[in-house]
Structure 1
Amino acid sequence: MTERRRIDIVTARGPSSCPRCRREGLLLVRVPYGWTNAVGTAVDGRIGVVLCAGCDAQAPHPAPLFTWFHVNSNVERETSEEFVRLLVAWAENASVPPLDEGRLDEEISLWRSGSL
């Protein structure tokens, strides 16, 4: 039996901006995220993933959700089941690239030197 990941839908007064392009995102979810550090210890947490009409336009999993947003502007009682089904299909496949520890070390060095 496959363990399901807990996905949190983040609701707020205003939409989140896409961290990739800075445009307004459609929605934000928090997904499990982690890596194994240099001493072999698991570092687990949750990270936000923004659904962006621009950046995610070519990705297969959010396509039905984009279509839903074009047809429906808000989640209403009569559309809520379909929205949840499409949201879960996208969120279960939402992921974050693995941590690039070399890039992180570079950014830490730049920050410490005042260059970032």
Structure 2
Amino acid sequence: MLTLVYYALMLLVGYFFYRYGQRLLNQGLRGENDEFTKPPVGPIGFLLVAGLGCYLLFEALRAVVLREIPCVGKGCTGQVYTLAEHSGQYWANLFFVVWMVLALGYTMYVTIKIWTRG
């Protein structure tokens, strides 16, 4: 039951994240107060998001190839979940990492679309 709540909350957060990005993209060049629409991240934040996204993408691809992923949480530091022994925890951690890659990629997409408006 806890796993179902975890995945449902992840989907709900993703939906609200998507709606926020769509609202920014649909605002146009200027917002409600006649100010320029601000992207979710600035130039330095964009570089940090890109770097973190590339690292997490590398870790996700590495986890798929090696069939093992290190634990993402604080309580299990240093523990490695393998697909053969801990398949539930392996897929949960891999899902979280891929979800973060998608969220960071969408943040970069929205930022670039706002920056390149004419």
User: Shared fold by TM > 0.5?
Assistant: no
What is the TM-score when the length of structure 2 is the normalising length? 0.34
Higher strand share: 1
What is the TM-score when the length of structure 1 is the normalising length? 0.35
Bigger relative CO (Cα 8 Å, ≥ 6 apart): 2
Higher helix share: 2
